[in-house]
Chains A and B, each alone.
Chain A
Amino acid sequence: MKDFIRIRGLSKKFGNFLAVDNVDLDIERGELFSILGGSGCGKTTLLRMLAGFELPTSGTIEIDGVDVTNQPPYERHVNMMFQSYAVFPHMTVEKNIGYGLRKERMPRPEIAKRVDEMLELVQLQELRSRKPDQLSGGQRQRVALARALIKQPKVLLLDEPLAALDKKLRERTQFELMNIQDELGITFVVVTHDQEEAMTLSSRIAVMDRGQFRQIGTPKEIYEFPSNRFVAEFIGTINTFRGHVAAKEEDSISVDSSEAGVTLTALGKQLVEEGQEIEIAIRPEKIFISKEKPDDGDAVCLPGVVDDLGYRGNRSLYRIRLESGKIVQVSSQNRRRSVTRFLEWDDRVWISWRPRSAVVLLD
């Protein structure tokens, strides 16, 4: 299937500053695609180029087979939900939602019908004649969403749609957004700096850093198989061990790491050479913790001391100090209910993991 949105070699310069740097991206029809990155990495700029508010310095944007690179915003079948929501303060909820259709000169009865449908979709029927200053943040967000959806755009762009909401509301709204997207089948492109939000919402994520994509993939791919150090560290927590490739076998490599104090094994047919400096990365929840040395020939086992521990209800977090002085973070599920702790400060413990849980990072 041909890609619905095709971005090729897209760049945007502000003066000498390259905000978006030669980006390629393909998004399929009906996807809920997230662009994830820290503040100032160029997410909004990329979105604004998709909407037509910024002209790219170079590159092309194609939507549904049409080159829209130089189309003004009002000619694109793309609508945007602004980070500030940008709800018109001088119009009622109804008028805000119907604005896009009035600009299309749609007959009034038809507009009224569509506005009713939208009000129902975002559950604002009772507030239809309120002005925006009489609404809560969450309600304004829904007005903005309904207003952008009513034109049935090919693509809906959402700039940090949930950032202004408090935590509880944010979680609920996340699922509402997903349901609405599912119901309407419109392609959503969401910009966010919140990795959990991106993981929950998206079918695929592009991780962005300094104007470039560092990895594009499903949430699982990005979390379990980060392709570089930036992605590995941006999404969740990860432990890394620096070392040299000591030996290469058919589907595994051995890495000498002074930080770990032992030779680490990792699976994979990565393009590494003997002697190359690389990193082995392992997520905290992939590490087992025990008082005795585990009886598992394949596992990587390291001795250490409990440096710190924290109780988080559903799981416990440990910081284990290895003999080299390196601190390793371990997270384990609290499956059993008990008042006594399994481990105390300064206990001697073993940490271990399966070689295939570890990731090889080249940069």
Chain B
Amino acid sequence: MWRKAIIAAPYLWLLVFFLAPFAIVLRISLADPVIAQPPYSPTYSPDSFTFLLTDKLYAITYLRSVVMAAGATLLCLLLGFPMAYGIARCSPATRSMLLLLIILPFWISFLLRVYAWMGLMNNYGAINNLLMWLGVVDQPVQLMYTDFAIFVGLAYSYLPFMILPLYATLERMDLDLVEAAQDLGASRSRAFWDVTWPLARPGVIAGCLLVFIPAMGEYVIPYLLGGSESLLIGRVLFDEFFVNRDWPLASAVAVILLLLLVVPIVLLQRYQARDQEGTA
């Protein structure tokens, strides 16, 4: 009885907090917008989807979002892997200290941290002041309201989500394996690609998903750090809902966003399942 209840709990959670809301959003996306309360008709029509798929602007926005999120994910991986690797190789006492430092920024409100980056990156902010003082530039460089600023903001905010799963897999890895590879004739870098990297892959995949998925729908960072012309899908979603009050269109945007996220996850999982069966 209890066993069943415990097994059912995560499914119940999924049903109540994921599938049910998704069903509602899907329903709204298939309605027509009306000026009423709620602002959609009880009828069914595919108009929102047809509109989305025919207007090139939306396709471009989706693509830009994918590129931004993928870029930020890659940046996090490049920064996070050496950090996680280094932490996993420290003594246990140093490890917990360093992990605490990684998590520490979460004690401060997310918004405040993004505002702090605005302070750092604006024309008279710390970064520009430093560059001018060093004589690298004699005019302030435009950092704020650029794609670069969005990258920095995304990478900074999501870095811990990359480091933690990577650390978890690297910390569990038997160091003898790397030495065994070297013993059998692999150089240090060869041993890394033959042993460390494949064994760290579950952590890499988990970290990339944890960064990529929220980065795709991110609204606040592009809104605060990016330029007004840098349209990302989170922004479009927000505007359709709250500015245009076109709920069906906004819902359709959300449904397609979800599909864009679910497809790569399913592919990854199938790839991993095949990997487990011994074709590596």
Contacts and interface: CB of A to CB of B under 8 A. Distances in A.
Interface of A: 51-53, 72-74, 78-80, 82-84, 86, 88-92, 95, 99-100, 103-104, 129-131, 147-148, 151
B198 interface: yes
Contact of B179 (A53, A78, A90, A131): A53
Chain A interface mostly: loop
22 contacts: A51-B183, A53-B179, A53-B182, A53-B183, A72-B187, A73-B182, A73-B183, A78-B183, A80-B180, A82-B179, A84-B176, A86-B174, A86-B176, A86-B177, A88-B181, A99-B184, A100-B184, A103-B185, A104-B185, A130-B278, A147-B180, A148-B183
B101 interface: no
B180 A88 contact: yes
The 5 A-B pairs of least Cβ separation, nearest first, read: A103-B185, A100-B184, A86-B176, A86-B180, A73-B182
Contact of B184 (A92, A103, A129): A103
A199 B198 CA distance: 41
Interface of B: 174, 176-177, 179-187, 190, 194-195, 198-199, 278, 280
Nearest to B185: A103
Contacts of A51: 183
Contact of B195 (A52, A88, A92): A88
B184 A90 contact: no
A47 to B, nearest CB: 11
A147 B199 CA distance: 19
Given A74-B182, A100-B185, A104-B185, A82 B278 contact: no
A131 B198 CA distance: 15
Contacts of B174: 84, 86
B186 A129 contact: no
Nearest to B186: A103
B199 A90 contact: yes
B177 A88 contact: yes
Contact of A90 (B176, B183, B280): B280
Contacts of B278: 92, 129-131
A55 to B, nearest CB: 14
B199 A82 contact: no
B261 to A, nearest CB: 28
Given A73-B179, A86-B177, A92-B278, A79 B199 contact: no
Contacts of A88: 177, 180-181, 195
B160 to A, nearest CB: 27
Contacts of A131: 278
Contact of B176 (A82, A92, A129, A147): A82
B179 A89 contact: no
A86 B184 CA distance: 12
A86 B182 CA distance: 12
Given A90-B199, A90-B280, A103-B190, A82 B180 contact: yes
Contacts of B186: 74, 103
Nearest to A105: B185
Nearest to A144: B180
Contacts of B182: 53, 72-74
Contacts of A78: 183
A53 B187 CA distance: 12
Which of B179, B183, B186, B198 lies at the interface centre, i.e. has the most chain A CB atoms within 10 A of its CB?
Answer: B183
Contacts of B180: 80, 82, 86, 88, 147
A151 B180 CA distance: 13
Contacts of B183: 51-53, 73-74, 78-80, 148
Nearest to B195: A88
Given A88-B195, A90-B199, A90-B280, A151 B184 contact: yes
Contacts of B190: 103
Contacts of A84: 174, 176
Contacts of A80: 179-180, 183
A204 to B, nearest CB: 24
Contacts of A103: 184-186, 190
Given A53-B179, A74-B183, 9 more contacts: A51-B183, A72-B182, A74-B182, A74-B185, A92-B280, A99-B181, A103-B184, A130-B278, A147-B180
B276 to A, nearest CB: 8
A82 B183 CA distance: 10
A130 B276 CA distance: 11
B184 A89 contact: no
Contacts of B181: 88, 99
Contacts of A100: 184-185
A20 B200 CA distance: 34
A85 B179 CA distance: 11
A148 to B, nearest CB: 8
B116 to A, nearest CB: 42
B176 A79 contact: no
B199 A91 contact: no
Contacts of A91: 280
A15 to B, nearest CB: 13
Given A82-B180, A88-B180, A129-B278, A74 B198 contact: no
B176 A74 contact: no
Nearest to B178: A86
A114 to B, nearest CB: 13
A192 B180 CA distance: 19
Which of A53, A74, A99, A129 lies at the interface centre, i.e. has the most chain B CB atoms within 10 A of its CB?
Answer: A74
A130 B183 CA distance: 23
Contacts of A148: 183-184
Contacts of A99: 181, 184, 194
A91 B176 CA distance: 15
